[in-house]
């Protein structure tokens, strides 16, 4: 089941949720890796902003359930 963006299963194992997070992060890491390696090079402040807005919030959300 998916509740408020957190994937739950009947035994409250977190493997389905972590698998979805892994897929999500692999796509965004590939994007960041591509942006970092361009010839005009991205500004570090912009890369940190992308990380904080997209990746950190996704990782932080739902941590209160697992604790």
* pLDDT above 70 for 27: yes
Q: How distant, in Å, are the alpha carbons of 7, 10, 37, 50, 60 from that of 53?
A: 21, 31, 21, 5, 11
**Residue 67 confidence class, pLDDT cut points 50, 70, 90:** low
Instruction: DSSP letter for 11, please.
Output: T
* pLDDT above 80 for 5: no
- According to the model, what pLDDT value does residue 34 have? 80
């Amino acid at each position: 089941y998916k509740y408020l963006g957190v994937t739950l299963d009947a035994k409250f194992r977190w493997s389905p949720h972590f698998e979805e997070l892994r897929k999500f992060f692999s796509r965004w890491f590939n994007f960041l890796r591509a942006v970092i390696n361009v010839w005009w090079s991205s500004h570090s402040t912009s890369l940190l902003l992308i990380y904080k807005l997209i990746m950190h919030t996704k990782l932080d959300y739902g941590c209160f359930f697992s604790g």
